[in-house]
Structure 1
Amino acid sequence: MNDIRKTAVIIGASRTLGLGLADEYLRRGWDVIGTVRGSRRTGLHDLAETSEGRLTIESLEMTDPEQISALRDRLSQRTLDLLFVNAAITRGDLPIGEVPTDMFTEVMITNALSPMRVVETLGPLVAPTGTIGIMSSDQGSIALNTEGGQDLYRASKSALNQLMRSYAARDAENTRTLLLMDPGWVRTELGGAEAELSVEESVPGVVETMERHEGKRGLRFLDYEGNVVPW
């Protein structure tokens, strides 16, 4: 029997989609390192208690570059098979002209800049045949924006996609799989109560899609069913 288990780092794993991803990878026999903000108890702590030591919890405020660097140092002796960044906020549905500057800055830092800082800092720990993924959204697709609304959130996800594309283009020799994942419209704080999918319906598809693309170098923008999402 092969006792070598794969290792996934899930950034933002305390609840909803991130917690669901941690649970799904544990079910599939992986070791999981999940991050939470602050020191309060979360659903990830409950999951860790039943994981037989296969789930490790790290504290990370993703918007703090020093904390990202410190996490890299703590993980420096590990080789990761998957780095997945799941973190985003929204601040309501305002026309862009009504968005306060501090709100614009907060959402862009959280949804676009900080995930890429994580990728840039922790990416070298991922095995050459491993996967780097980020939770994006079809709302980041410029081609699919035919109805408007959610201006700031859409813009932040479009910026994230563009930055990830720049990251991929900058290092054409990178052999890792790079994925921007759209989980579908999920019932979370971001998705709202009227969303079509539960976390339990979305997450297995996200994981299946990523596993099907293991070892396929280059960047793809895909949804939880494996369909290509237009840029």
Structure 2
Amino acid sequence: MSATSHRQALIIGASRGLGLVLAGELARRGWRVIATTRQNDSELHANADVWNGRLEVESLEMTSSEQLAALRERLADRQLDLLFVNAAIDRGNLSIDEVSTDMFTEVMVTNALSPLRTLEALRGLVAPGGTVAVMSSDQGSISRNTEDGYELYKASKAALNQLMRSYATRYANDGQTKLLLDPGHNRTRLGGPDAPLDPHDSIPAVVDILEAQAGAPGLQFLDRHGETVPW
């Protein structure tokens, strides 16, 4: 990676929760951060004022190919050390027989298809030796799926992991580090108020991993402790 004062990151999906904390943590460490939101009045805009130009806000609906292309054009003169896609939705603790086709499509498009389309659209902005990363979950681990519940969400994360593996195979020789990261069960809108982890505690550990793994070859699926998550 480049020198600390010049490291640049693009965080996709930073309006709240883990993405918002991630953008702030990178800015705190001296990164120049571009962070996207779908909302004009998100907390992200308020945070941008705090970081003295180290945090920029861009508008993006990640599921829109047109908006991805437009963002790519707006950032054409940038060179990124990190491209991080953070996006997920959940539609409740339903068994698969309770999931409508429309709900299945919505969750799979948001949680699996769109993150990889985003990497495809924006990977050309990443510098040689840079990192592309996606926020995953141990809920996507097939071997750890030993408890009932949240079947659609688990399936979407497993699909995300598989698509990322295909991506890593296709671009095996591009020199970029590729990471799937499990931040643990955090107290966010998605994780719920009873989750055991606070994002302000878990996300600094995630950033430690991002910085430590910079330049590492191949694809890794790691938790916030840097331990490998089984596929």
Give TM class, smaller chain: over 0.9
**1:51-101 Cα distance to aligned partner (Å, 9 max, x none):** 111111100000111101110111111000000001100001110011000
Q: Report the equivalent of 2:211.
A: 211
Shift of 1:46: 1.1
**1:23-68 Cα distance to aligned partner (Å, 9 max, x none):** 10011101000000042x1111111111111111100000111101
Q: Report the equivalent of 1:54.
A: 54
Matched, 1:7 2:8: yes
Asked whether the equivalents of residues 134 and 179 of structure 1 are also in contact (C-alpha less than 8 Å), the reply is: yes
Q: Report the equivalent of 1:186.
A: 186
1:164 counterpart SS class: helix
Code of the aligned partner of 1:178: K
Matched, 1:228 2:228: yes
1:50 counterpart SS class: helix
Asked whether the equivalents of residues 174 and 217 of structure 1 are also in contact (C-alpha less than 8 Å), the reply is: no
Counterpart CA distance in 1 for 2:67 and 2:4 is 32
Asked whether the equivalents of residues 4 and 30 of structure 2 are also in contact (C-alpha less than 8 Å), the reply is: no
Q: Report the equivalent of 1:103.
A: 103
Counterpart CA distance in 1 for 2:196 and 2:113 is 29
Q: Report the equivalent of 1:16.
A: 17
Q: How high is the TM-score relative to the length of structure 2?
A: 0.97
Code of the aligned partner of 1:168: A
Shift of 1:178: 0.3
Code of the aligned partner of 2:190: L
Asked whether the equivalents of residues 12 and 85 of structure 2 are also in contact (C-alpha less than 8 Å), the reply is: yes
Within 5 A, what are the aligned runs for 1:80-159? 80-159=80-159
Shift of 1:3: 8.2
Code of the aligned partner of 1:167: Y
1:188 counterpart SS class: coil
* Unaligned runs of at least 5 residues, structure 2: none
**1:85-124 Cα distance to aligned partner (Å, 9 max, x none):** 0110000111001100000000000000000010001011
Counterpart CA distance in 1 for 2:212 and 2:53 is 27
Asked whether the equivalents of residues 4 and 31 of structure 2 are also in contact (C-alpha less than 8 Å), the reply is: no
Runs of 4+ in 1 over 6 A off after TM superposition: none
Counterpart CA distance in 2 for 1:137 and 1:159 is 11
Code of the aligned partner of 1:5: H
Code of the aligned partner of 2:132: I
* RMSD value, Cα: 1.1
Aligned positions, number? 229
Q: Report the equivalent of 1:169.
A: 169
Shift of 1:140: 0.3
Matched, 1:72 2:95: no
Counterpart CA distance in 1 for 2:187 and 2:102 is 27
Counterpart CA distance in 2 for 1:122 and 1:42 is 23
2:121 counterpart SS class: helix
Shift of 1:170: 1.2
Report percent identity of matched pairs.
60
